[in-house]
Amino acid sequence: MIEEEILTIDEVAKFLRVSERTVYDWAQKGEIPSGKIGTAWRFKKSEIEQWVNSRLSGLRKTGHTSVQVESIISPDRILFLKDTAKLEALTALAENLATTPQVKNRQELIERIIQREELMSTAIGRGIAIPHVRLSSVTDLVVSVGISKTDIADFQSLDDEPVRLLFMIAAAYNQHAYYLQTLSFFSARLKNKELRSSLLNTQSAEEVYKLLVKV
């Protein structure tokens, strides 16, 4: 019975015991399995149940150890940014990601990254931003890293600190759990002040890569 398997925003909100606005924001950001029929968001109940299970148990079982940095980052996806504005920095990283075989639609990636940033800043504090998106035109999760030698002041960070380190994540639409785990991994890893300082003092992409893959 197909009708019973498709949920509205209101039904998902009641199921998850959160507000409709929260569900809407998650859908807009690609953070919950969803799709649009016309202009209305719709959700498959089975996918929502799997999403809840992965959120409640996945990271607790595996921690951050299942994210293999060497498989999602390479030296050619590490950039030293000279731009001092957010838009230019995001575009440079998206252009870099678009050269990878995992990204099939360059323009869509750039547009969605910028749209995501306009919706809500991805600057998480401590000089770090983690712009991220899930797209059907991406075949596997991939990351591009930006090291800025100058402050990027227009990111509207949570702590008002200018951004210097950027980790851009693009994932396939069906990689929701791994996508969230990767976001969590970098958010936790970059809390290390010594690591942040070391990254900012690097002179080559190879140095950055070695610091990031180091256990």
Q: Which residues are catalytic?
A: 132
Residue 74, SS3? coil
Order of strands, edge to edge, in the sheet holding 35-37?
6-7, 40-44, 35-37
Query: Residue 203 contacts by C-beta under 8 Å, 6 or more apart in sequence?
Result: none
Amino acid at 30: G
Q: How far is CA 133 from CA 8, 34, 108, 145, 168, in A?
A: 23, 14, 11, 15, 8
